[in-house]
Structure 1
Amino acid sequence: MSRNMITVPSETPRKSYLYLKEKISSNKKATIVISGGGCFIVVCLIVVVVTFVTCNSAVTAEKEGLFVIPSGNIKFNPNQKSTYEEEISSLNQFFIDYYNNATKADDTQVIKCPPGVEPNATQVCILPEKILGHECNPENVWNYNTTSPCIILSYNGKTNRTTKFDPYDDINELPNQMPKLIKDKIKQIYFEENNTMQEVIWVSCTFIGIHSYYGPGFPKSFFSNTNLPGYRKPIVALQLILKDEINTTVEITCNMWAKGIDNGKTSETSVKFTVTVEKN
């Protein structure tokens, strides 16, 4: 597979990025200068009221290891926009940071890295925008105006250490404790790829009402060159199907799967969160 070099994200992320950027510029307030008593007091009220940046519990708390966006306990009413604005802010912030190409250094190249594509020593990976699907994007408010909201799973490696995970390379070595749903998905991909195992760190979640637009899992390539400027964390976009769980708190645990991972002994490869869809 050839490496697809990019300098800017493709059309869908670029459109979304410009959409968010416009919201920044339209909400900036000017600096105010107040004079009095022979002296000038410059009060800098550069207050940026941005829909995707807030300082509250819903903004992404990137713990080491596997984490979810929005973080914490998600509770919203799809008919009341004010109840999910914080969740949208958190997702938008992560989205624009992920696809914004301006943060990379000149000597770092950004390439698209679906499974099978590996970066060289001066490259970092970005995933194709198709993993977000049609519902999981800023213009669609990440589908929080329905009972099928979107979340993003990502992985934050330990500081100053390159995290190494070894993907399963044999369909017969999948562990017994791996949920049947993810096993079936891996087997489906295995047969579709002419009996070839993808180099993916798989991710499963306990709640079965989930639609994944990718894999689901993190390509192995995202665990290389983590210290390069412009490095992006891997992402998996998930849509939670909660139409039968109205006014009920659903607890979800997600786990990563690869050789050497023991989900019973480490919190690094596991994350737990709750979601409640409220409707009168």
Structure 2
Amino acid sequence: MADKPKEQYYTPPPKLGKWEGFKIFLWNSETNQFLGRTAGSWAKILLFYCCFYAGLVGFFAAMMAIFYTTLDMKVPKWQLDSSLIGNNPGLGFRPMPPESHVDSTLIWFKKTHGNSDLWTDKLDSFLEPYRSPNPEYEKNTFVCDYDIPPPEGKVCKVDISKWSPCTQSEKYSYPNGHPCIFLKLNKIYGWKPQCYNDTENLPEKMPQELKNHILSEKTLNPKVLNTVWVSCEGENPADVENIGSIQYIPRRGFPAYYFPYTNIEGYLSPIIAIWFEKPTSGVLINIECKAWAHNIVHDRTERRGSVHFELMVD
């Protein structure tokens, strides 16, 4: 008995080449489909995604608006111990090495005409806000002293015009081979120094020369004790021998009346100049400077309270 022919319930699609199949995928004239969808299907999916992303953008905008209502543009939400910065300021130095040597802390120059321009130009840029403060904020500045703190809403002026020889006109003494290095404390909102006003409890690790200086200042002018003291010295015996004498201009530290930093417009961080009067030529000198206050902890690895750099004058 002959087999019955198999019944076929559908018509198989015609076999098409790759190019013919691609053309039909782009536009199928029989079903009026573009890229596999009819106009109605495209309209529905586009409407869905427009509504979906509009809702997403609206939700994000609402969350951002609520978030910004909790912020003050001038006062950080997290301060001191609660912040990532913490409550221990770092000590920085200027001029910094070129960006091509970003990991270096070496200040190296020759005592020849024009050879030190790289470093003096960097100091010119760093000190420009101090030489020419923004006139718009002039009304916020105030000439302070140890017994004349700034009034509410004012900041203390930093006058560097008489810091000879660490001035722009004298090229910061670099052409003479007696360079000036500027030090500054990093700004931490709301931080106040706890100064060593009690000369009976000076830390053991404080250099004896600085202790003697503090004791002499106590005799001459006790108000000056309200200062974040600074010491700079060679790290090794050879460095101590080659560093030569040092002068701190205009004083031995940062007066406490410059603190706290509260983001008032026109505020400039207090700075001091370290003048190396006669460092030994042709020798690499390792130098460490430290800021001294009860609430400053020294940690070189974390760059807190101290700074290290090298100096070499050829």
Segments of 4+ moved more than 4 angstroms: none
Query: Aligned pair 1:90/2:122, yes or no?
Result: yes
Distance across 2 between alignment mates of 1:131 and 1:117: 21
Tell me if structure 2 keeps the 8 A contact 1:148–1:239: yes
RMSD over equivalenced CA pairs, Å: 2.1
Within the candidate set 275, 287, 306, 1:252 is matched to: 287
Unaligned segments of structure 2, at least 5 residues: 1-88, 97-104, 235-243
Shift in CA distance, 211/105, structure 1 to aligned 2, threshold 3 Å: closer
Q: Which residue is equivalent to 1:143? A: 173
Distance across 2 between alignment mates of 1:252 and 1:186: 22
Q: Which residue is equivalent to 1:236? A: 272
Query: Aligned pair 1:169/2:205, yes or no?
Result: no
Deviation of 1:66 (Å): 1.0
**After superposition, where does 1:2-17 map in structure 2 within 5 Å?**
none
Deviation of 1:113 (Å): 2.6
* Structure exhibiting the larger radius of gyration computed from Cα positions: 2
**After superposition, where does 1:116-131 map in structure 2 within 5 Å?**
116-129=147-160
Q: Which residue is equivalent to 1:110? A: 141
Tell me if structure 1 keeps the 8 A contact 2:146–2:224: no
Query: Aligned pair 1:201/2:228, yes or no?
Result: yes
Distance across 2 between alignment mates of 1:93 and 1:103: 18
Identical aligned residues as a percent: 25
Shift in CA distance, 256/110, structure 1 to aligned 2, threshold 3 Å: same
Query: Aligned pair 1:68/2:93, yes or no?
Result: yes
Query: Aligned pair 1:156/2:190, yes or no?
Result: no
Tell me if structure 2 keeps the 8 A contact 1:103–1:230: no
Distance across 2 between alignment mates of 1:145 and 1:196: 37
Shift in CA distance, 163/98, structure 1 to aligned 2, threshold 3 Å: same
Deviation of 1:115 (Å): 3.1
Unaligned segments of structure 1, at least 5 residues: 1-63
Deviation of 1:129 (Å): 3.3
Q: Which has the higher strand share?
A: 1
Deviation of 1:212 (Å): 1.2
Deviation of 1:180 (Å): 1.0
Deviation of 1:168 (Å): 1.4
Tell me if structure 2 keeps the 8 A contact 1:169–1:199: yes
| TM-superposition CA deviations, 1:118-146 (whole Å, max 9, x none) | 112211112343662x2110111110011
Tell me if structure 2 keeps the 8 A contact 1:131–1:213: no
Distance across 2 between alignment mates of 1:117 and 1:129: 19
Distance across 1 between alignment mates of 2:126 and 2:148: 23
Specify the code of the residue in structure 2 equivalent to 1:99. R
Shift in CA distance, 115/131, structure 1 to aligned 2, threshold 3 Å: farther
| TM-superposition CA deviations, 1:10-51 (whole Å, max 9, x none) | xxxxxxxxxxxxxxxxxxxxxxxxxxxxxxxxxxxxxxxxxx
